Amino acid sequence: MHPADSWHETVLGRGRIHRRDAEICLELPSAPADSYHDAQISDYAARAEMQNRPPLRLSLRARFQGRPQGTAGFGFWNHAFVPGQRGFRIPQALWFFYAGPANDLALAQGVPGCGWKAATFDARQWRFYGFLPFAPIGLLLMRSRALYRAFWPLGQRALGVSERLLDTALLDDYHRYSIDWRADSAIFAVDGDEVLRAPVSAGDPLGFIAWIDNQFAIVTPQGKFGHGLLAIQHPQSLHLRDLEIWPPA
């Protein structure tokens, strides 16, 4: 379990972090799209410091003030990349993830590419590397609706993608979110109700992160790719309480 004052704080651009009583507020004020703006806390300062392995439980209460325009969320990941910095890893993540309307990360069949989600991603497996040489032609084939419906589940499985779209009304008030990370699965719950049970594989340790930023990304099975920065048109913030990470009993 992490003491309340042990989180590593990162602010980029106009990002801000405030502590009010027992609340941590990650905030972005209005700002132009001239640079990357980010406010985040984590339990690591460098990848080498990541120590989280299953079995592990994450529990916290969270709410948003103002809809995020870029991305935001909290959970575990392997620090795959950071805008403006060098270095890339094959991504792995288990988290509650918000993608604003400019995003299109449509990697789970039947789930929109934006919105508030419980999600996993893990391309560090033999299926992904096996499909990689055929990716260019596969992206073209996925433009056929019939082929996409028939074959994209194979690609989704190769990427280790599992997602459940959540009601955006949850964002406006405090709710309890938890992730029970086990050796072969991750169980996501909101207010004690299970919303997603996803298979996961063992791998390198992951780091905890909670953030809000102004970036967007487009990645679709049909070969649409893009990324960039958004103007922050109104103040927006992520508020956290009762944040705990501990091994289950």
Contacts of 154 (CB under 8 A, 6+ apart): 127, 131
- In single-letter form, the type of residue at position 207 comes to G
Q: What is the pLDDT of residues 29-63, one digit of tens each?
A: 999 999 999 999 999 998 889 999 999 999 999 99
Q: 247 vs 165, which has greater pLDDT? A: 165
Cα(108)–Cα(71) distance, integer angstroms: 17
The answer to whether position 108 is within a domain reads: yes
The answer to whether position 2 is within a domain reads: no
pLDDT (mean) for 74-102: 81
The answer to whether position 3 is within a domain reads: no
Answer yes or no: is pLDDT of 17 > 60. yes
Cα(249)–Cα(246) distance, integer angstroms: 9
pLDDT (mean) for 91-107: 95
How many structural domains is the chain composed of?
1
Predicted confidence band of residue 129 (pLDDT cuts 50, 70, 90):
very low
The answer to whether position 62 is within a domain reads: yes
Cα(36)–Cα(242) distance, integer angstroms: 28
Q: Where are the alpha helices (DSSP H) in 46-175?
A: 126-131, 135-141, 145-158
CATH number for the domain harbouring residue 27: 2.60.120.200
- Give me the percent of the chain exceeding a pLDDT of 90: 67
Q: Give the residue among 96, 92, 110, 196 at the shortest CA–CA distance from 153.
A: 110
Q: Report pLDDT for 194.
A: 98
The answer to whether position 17 is within a domain reads: yes
The answer to whether position 139 is within a domain reads: yes
Confidence (pTM):
0.90
Q: Residue 95's domain spans which residues? A: 8-246
Per-position b or e across 167-204, b if 16+ CB within 10 A of its CB: eeebbeebeebbbbbeeeebbbbbeeeebbebebeeee
Q: What is the pLDDT of residues 169-185, one digit of tens each?
A: 999 999 999 999 999 99
Q: Report pLDDT for 77.
A: 94
The answer to whether position 20 is within a domain reads: yes
The answer to whether position 1 is within a domain reads: no
DSSP codes of every residue in 219-248: E-TTS-EEEEE--B-S-EEEEEEEEEEE--
Cα(122)–Cα(162) distance, integer angstroms: 9
